[in-house]
Amino acid sequence: MTRIVAVSSEKGGVGKTTTASNLAAAWGALGRRVLAVDFDPQFALTRAFGLAPSDAPATVYEVLTAQGTELEDAVLPDVAPGVDLIASRRDLRKLELNLVSEVRREEFLARALEPLVGDYDVVVIDSPPNLGLLTVNVLCASTEVLVPVSMVDTGALQGAAELRASVAGLAERRFDVRIRALVKTLAEPRRVMYQAISEPLGALGIPVARTEIPLRADFHNALAEGAPLLVSRPDSLGGLAYRKLGQELLGDSAKLKAVA
């Protein structure tokens, strides 16, 4: 069964797109067939793979606005070993406004992905850094959610709490989605801020991935180079961390640390 993984946070700057791109690359390197879907109007995931919307035959926007484009026509193949990509563009913002008046407006992305999902082992979806209707579409299309939590920004805790409430609300409406784990990003355990954020994580009652993503300048360099760090510098500390996280998340839930 295909796993559909949303990488989401209400808070920007937490490493959301970095996590989506590097996990997609990690799972591809581990032999999984991966589809990465950019559902952010800022098309950050598209850029993380060194591409622009104009490089794609079509983007998710054309697919969802009934412009005669099938999802398979929008796929950019082999953007990294084992990874295909569906790009985004800024016009996706318009879709959020148009969806307000639509019936079952939260299910547009799920219905669009349905014909192609079975061709992949994992689908990774990068969502916008807010809890608007585009993000709700991502959550409704997914089976599990990863929530990056920046360990240098206490605001990331609030973002995780708000996302937890949104997922719980969808579960009450019988959408089959759950938060798989919080992922500590920009982690430097020696910093006072790290300790200040780590302690309140327990109150959220959400599993926390054992693998932490270190605070490294390499991630910014990778963006400039147009490739996920795991692809451009696989033996770097950050690249190795995402490979380890990918392996952990492919395992069972016992490898996640439940916080009481």
User: Residue range 72-77: average pLDDT?
Assistant: 94
Across the chain, what does the average pLDDT equal? Answer: 89
Question: Tens digits of per-residue pLDDT, 44-65?
Answer: 999 999 999 999 999 999 988 8
User: Greater confidence, 185 or 260?
Assistant: 185
Portion of the chain with pLDDT greater than 70, in percent: 93
The H-assigned helical ranges of the chain are 16-29, 44-48, 60-64, 92-99, 108-117, 133-141, 155-172, 192-201, 218-225, 229-232, 237-250
How many whole angstroms separate alpha carbon 192 and alpha carbon 175? Answer: 39
User: Residue range 106-113: average pLDDT?
Assistant: 90
User: Residue range 11-18: average pLDDT?
Assistant: 92
Asked whether the beta carbons of 146 and 183 are under 8 A apart, the reply is yes
Asked whether the beta carbons of 238 and 229 are under 8 A apart, the reply is yes
- Give the pLDDT band of residue 259 (cuts 50, 70, 90): very low
Evaluate if residue 26 carries a pLDDT over 70. yes
pLDDT value, residue 67: 65
What is the identity of the amino acid at 201?
L
Question: Burial code of 65-91, b = ≥16 C-beta within 10 A, e = fewer?
Answer: eeeebebeebbbeebbebbbbbbbbee
Asked whether the beta carbons of 159 and 182 are under 8 A apart, the reply is no
pLDDT value, residue 100: 63
User: Residue range 83-92: average pLDDT?
Assistant: 96
Look at the chain and report how many structural domains it folds into: 1
Question: Tens digits of per-residue pLDDT, 195-214?
Answer: 899 888 878 888 999 999 99
Find the range with the poorest average confidence among 23-27, 67-71, 145-149, 254-258.
Answer: 254-258
How many whole angstroms separate alpha carbon 187 and alpha carbon 168? Answer: 27
pLDDT value, residue 69: 80
Range of the domain at 128: 3-257
Q: Which residues pair with 4 in a beta bridge?
A: 123
CATH label of the domain that carries residue 197? 3.40.50.300
pLDDT value, residue 20: 98
- Give the pLDDT band of residue 101 (cuts 50, 70, 90): low
pLDDT value, residue 258: 40
Question: Tens digits of per-residue pLDDT, 136-166?
Answer: 999 999 999 999 999 999 888 888 888 888 8
User: Greater confidence, 225 or 40?
Assistant: 40
Among all chains, which residue has been given the structure tokens 């589809």?
35
- Residues 6 or more apart in contact with residue 226 via CB below 8 angstroms: 47, 48, 49, 50, 51
Length in residues, the chain:
260
User: Residue range 227-251: average pLDDT?
Assistant: 95
Asked whether the beta carbons of 81 and 232 are under 8 A apart, the reply is no
pLDDT value, residue 260: 27
